[in-house]
Amino acid sequence: MVIVPQTSVATTHPERRWEPRLYPGTLATASRVRSDLRSDLRTDLARLTGLGDDLVATVVLCVSEMFANAVEHSRSGEADGRVIRTLAVRSAPDAGTVLRLSVIDDGAKDTGPLFPRQRTAEEWREAEHGRGLLLIEHTASDWGTRPVLDFPFCAGLGTVTWAEFALPAPAGAERGR
C-alpha cells in the first residue's frame, strides 16, 4: 500500500526530471557534486535557450552552498550520512520555464542553517561562515525549505532545500498566453 502520493515524471522538456544523485555527506564530496551538476547542465540541458555560462556558474555556486549546509547542519554530515541532489526543469505559472535544484539531507540534529545575525562591516570581513543562504537568496529566482515528508510523525526525517532559476524565454516566444 502506498501512503505517499506518486506523481508522474515527464520525460521531455519543458517538464523534465533527472535521476536523483546520492552522495556521501562529507565536505570532501562537494567538488564531485559541483562537477556532476556542471556536467548535467552542460550536456542534458545544453539545448535549453539561455543556459549560459553565468547561469551555470550561479547554479553550481548554489548547489555548493546547499550541500555544505546539509553536511554542516544535519545528520548528513555524520558517519554514513548522505545527501541527495535533484534537478528538474518545469513550466511555472507566471514565471515561464524554471530550473529547480534541490538538496535533501538526512534530517535534523542540534543546529540548523539560519540567516546570520546583524554584523558589523568588520565582522562580515572576518566571518568564515554565514553567507550561504544569503547567496542563494540573492542569486536564485526563488528558494525555500520544506520537510521531506509533511506528516507530524515524520518530523526530523530530512529537509529539502530548493532553489529555482528562471530560464529566459526562447527568442520569438510570446509571454502571457
Domain ranges of the chain: 15-167
User: Is residue 175 pLDDT above 70, yes or no?
Assistant: no
Find out if CATH 3.30.565.10 is the number for domain 15-167.
Answer: yes
CA distance 159 to 161: 6
User: Is residue 82 pLDDT above 70, yes or no?
Assistant: yes
Please state whether beta strands 96-104 and 82-92 pair in parallel, antiparallel, or not at all (unpaired). antiparallel
**Cα separation values, 62 from 11, 65, 108, Å:** 25, 5, 21
Q: Give the range among 10-24, 76-90, 140-154 with minimum mean pLDDT.
A: 10-24
| Per-residue confidence band for 53, with pLDDT thresholds at 50, 70 and 90 | confident
Can you say whether residue 140 is alpha, beta or left, with left for phi > 0 and alpha for psi between -120 and 50 degrees? beta
Instruction: Supply the pLDDT for residue 2.
Output: 46
Mean pLDDT value of segment 87-99 = 81
Mean pLDDT value of segment 71-90 = 92
Greatest CA separation found in the chain? 57
User: Is residue 6 pLDDT above 50, yes or no?
Assistant: no
Per-residue pLDDT of 120-144, as tens digits, reads 766 655 555 556 777 898 899 999 9
Instruction: Supply the pLDDT for residue 13.
Output: 42
Instruction: Supply the pLDDT for residue 41.
Output: 82
Taking the mean position of all CA atoms in its chain, how far away is CA 146? 12
CA distance 84 to 76: 10
What 3-state DSSP class applies to 69?
helix
Per-residue pLDDT of 141-156, as tens digits, reads 999 998 888 777 666 6
Mean of per-residue pLDDT scores for the chain: 78
